[in-house]
Amino acid sequence: MTSLPTPPVAKRLPSTTTHHGIEISDDWAWLRDPGYPKVTDREVLDYLEAENAYFEAVMAPLKPLTDTLFQEMRARIKEDDATVPQKDGDYLYWSDHETGGEYRRWWRRPVAGGEDQLFLDEPALAKGKEYFRLGGLSISNNGRLLAYAYDDNGSERFLLRVKDLETGEHLPDEIPGILSDIVWNADDTGFLYGLANDQWRTDNARFHRLGTDPKDDVELYHEDDEGYRVGVGETSSRKWIVISTGDHVTSEIRLLPAHDVFAEPVLVAPRQTGREYDVDEHDGTLFIHTNDTDPMWRLVTAPITDPGTWTELIPADPHFYMTGVATFADFFTVEGREDGLDQIEIHYYDGRPKRRIQFPEASYVTGLGDNPEYAVDTLRLSYQSMVTPGTVYDYALSDGALTVRKVQTIPSGYDASKYLTERLKIVARDGVEVPCSIVYPADFPKDGTGKVYLYAYGAYGHAIPPGFSTGRMSYLDRGMAFAIAHIRGGDDLGQQWYHDGKLTKRTNTFNDFVDVAKGLIERRFSYKGGIAIAGGSAGGELMGAVVNSDPDLWGAVVADVPFVDVLNTMLDASLPLTPGEWPEWGNPIEDKAAFELIRSYSPYDNVKAQDYPPLFISGGLNDPRVTYWEPAKWAAKLRATKTDDNILLLKTNMGAGHGGKSGRWESLKEGAEEMAFVLWQLGVVDVEA
C-alpha cells in the first residue's frame, strides 16, 4: 500500500519500582486502569480506541481479501451441522447449528420414541448481546432439570440458571459469578458448583439446594492456599462426587457420596508437592492415575475404605505417556501417547489381555469422545489427522469393529490427495530432537522459496495435536505450508517434555521454536523472512520472545492476547492468576534468581532498538487471563522503540475476553483478518491502497 495513516502514540509517563535492589522502569504502566476490572479511565480508553481506529484504517484496503477469505472458510463449514446423537439414560442427546446461526441449539429425544425437544437455545440467549459463551451444562439424573451457566461479557464470571425441562420454565434459582462445572447430587435436590472470588479464583465447592437462597448455600470445601484452584466433578459411575484442588504441579482429591454430599469427605491422598493424580472408581476400588514415581505416569488402585494404600496396576513406561484413565462397568480405558502418537487401550477387570485400538494412518489425533453411560458395549471415539477431516467412530467392544458415525462435511469440497503431510524431527541447539508436523500442497516447492505459517504454544504441558483444520486450507490453497512446532513446554512427548520448558528451563521453549524455523529453512521449505508465525496467550509470550531474539527470521507475526508483561504480572500477587502461576514461571517476589531469569526473557522488558517484523497484536478489554494492558503496553513500547517502518497493529476487543469474539462466524471473521494480514505481509497477495 502506497500510503498509510499515522499510528497513534501513547504518552510516556515514567514509573519505577524496585525489587531485589534492582530498579524497573515502566513508562506505560499508566495503561492499567487503577479501577480494573472496571475500565473507565478516559485516557486509557482513548488510546485503545485510537489503536482500534488505526487498525480499521490500515485493514480497510484488505477488506476485499478479508471478505474473500471469510467466505472461503465459511463455505467449508456445514452451516446446519449436528453432532452424532448419544444415549444418556432415557434420552438421546445432540446439538446443532441452524443455517446462518452463530450459536448451538441443544436437543434431546426419548429413546423409547417421541418428539425432538429443544432444551437449550443458545441463539435465543445470545440475542442482542455482543458476546455470549455457554459454560457448565448439566442435566439432573432423572432427566427433568437443566442447570447451565453463561457469560455475556467475556469476564468468565458465569450466571447459573435452572430450567424445568417438562414445563420449559426457569426456576427462581439464579447464582451469579460461578466458575466451575455443575454436578447434581443423587436425588436431584441440588447441585455442587464453585464461585469465583474477588481475585477470579475458585477457592470453594458449594452445595445449592433447589428453592433456597444461594446466600445460604453450604460451603463443602474451602481452599486456603491462594495458588490452588478448586473444581467439582463426578466418577464415571456417578456414585461419587469429586472435589479436586491443586496448582500446576500438585493435586489433592476428596470424594463425597453422591447420595449424601454432607458426609465426611474421603481424602484420597494428601497434597505432596510435585505429585499430581486424578481418580475414577469401580465397585469400591479407586483407579488412581498419578505421576508420583515417573513423569510418564502410572496407574495404581486402592480400596475406597483405605484410599492411601496404593497397589500398582500399570507401571510407567518410558515410551508410553499415560494421559488419562476412565472406568466403565465391564472394562476401563487408558489413553496416552506412544512416542508422541495418540493411543487408546481397553483393559479388562478380569485380567484378559489388553486391546489397543488400531488406526490406519502413520500420524493422527484420536481420543475418547462423549461416553456418558457407565454400562456400554460400544465406545464413542474422535479421530483426525492433518489431511483427514474430523471423524466420529463407534468402537464395538465385542469384536473391535470401528463404525463411522460421521465424517466432517466440507460443503465446498475437499480432495485429500492435493495435500501431503510429514512429521519432521529437527535438532535443537542443545542436541534434542524437536518434532514438527507440517502439511503442504502436493506441488509445494522445496527449493527454499516457499512460504510457511508456523504455529506453537509451548506452556502448561498443553500439547498441540497435528489435527485437521478447514481454516488453514486458505493458506494451503495459496501455495503455503502450515507447520506446528511441538516444542518443549507442552507435553507432546511426555510430562518431562513439559518440565524441560518451564521455570528455569523456560528458554528451551523459545530456542526450540527458533531452531525449528531454522530447520525448515535448512530443509528448503522456506527462507529468512518467508515464515509467518503465530501464537496466543502463553504462545503470544513465545511470539514476543522470538521477535526480540531473531526478528529477521519472520515475515509476519500474529500474537493473540499475548502474555508479554511476564515480570510485572508475576510480581503482582493481587492479579487473578498470579499466585497459581508461580509453579509455571517462578516466583520473582521471593526468589531473586526467578526474578532475574524472568527479567532476562520477558518480552515487554526486552524490547530494544532494532528492526521488528510486521506485527498483528490482539487483546480483550474484559480478559481476566491476559489483562488488556499487556498487549497495549507492548504495542506502545514497540512503537516508541523499534527502528523500522513495518506495520504494527493493535486490536482490542472492547466487549470480549480471552477468546476474542464469540459466535462461530464472528470468530471466523477475526481469523480471516489475521490471515489477510499474513498473506499481505508475506507478499502472497498484492494489496493496493
Whole-angstrom Cα distance, residue 578 to residue 229? 12
623 tagged catalytic: yes
What amino acid is encoded at 540 in this protein? G
Closest residue by Cα to residue 70 from 683, 664, 681: 664
C-alpha cell of residue 166 = 417438562
What amino acid is encoded at 620 in this protein? G
Are 300 and 210 a contacting pair, CB within 8 Å? no
Whole-angstrom Cα distance, residue 581 to residue 572? 11
Q: What are phi and psi of 21, to 5 degrees?
A: 80, 5
Whole-angstrom Cα distance, residue 511 to residue 529? 18
Structural element, H or E, at residue 543: helix 538-549
What does the chain come to in residues?
Answer: 689
| Helix count and strand count (H, E) for the chain | 12, 38
Q: Which of 97, 248, 289, 658 is catalytic?
A: 658
CA distances from 453 to 529, 536, 557 (A): 11, 14, 10
Closest residue by Cα to residue 473 from 410, 425, 423, 534: 410
Whole-angstrom Cα distance, residue 183 to residue 181? 7
Q: Which of 217, 565, 623, 662 is catalytic?
A: 623
**Angle CA 333–336–338, to nearest 5:** 130
462 tagged catalytic: no
What amino acid is encoded at 677 in this protein? F
C-alpha cell of residue 301 = 488402585
Are 570 and 586 a contacting pair, CB within 8 Å? yes
Are 198 and 574 a contacting pair, CB within 8 Å? no
Closest residue by Cα to residue 674 from 562, 550, 559: 559
What amino acid is encoded at 130 in this protein? E
Are 529 and 550 a contacting pair, CB within 8 Å? no
C-alpha cell of residue 73 = 472458510
For strands 331-338 and 158-164, give the pairing.
Answer: unpaired
Q: Which of 244, 537, 618, 662 is catalytic?
A: 537
Whole-angstrom Cα distance, residue 161 to residue 119? 13
CA distances from 40 to 29, 36, 43, 557 (A): 16, 8, 9, 30
The 8 Å CB, 24+ separation contacts for 313-319 are 313/287, 314/347
Structural element, H or E, at residue 149: strand 145-151
Whole-angstrom Cα distance, residue 617 to residue 682? 17
What amino acid is encoded at 425 in this protein? K
- Residue 374, C-beta contacts closer than 8 angstroms, at least 6 positions apart: 236, 237, 238, 328, 329
Instruction: Return the active site residues.
Output: 537, 623, 658
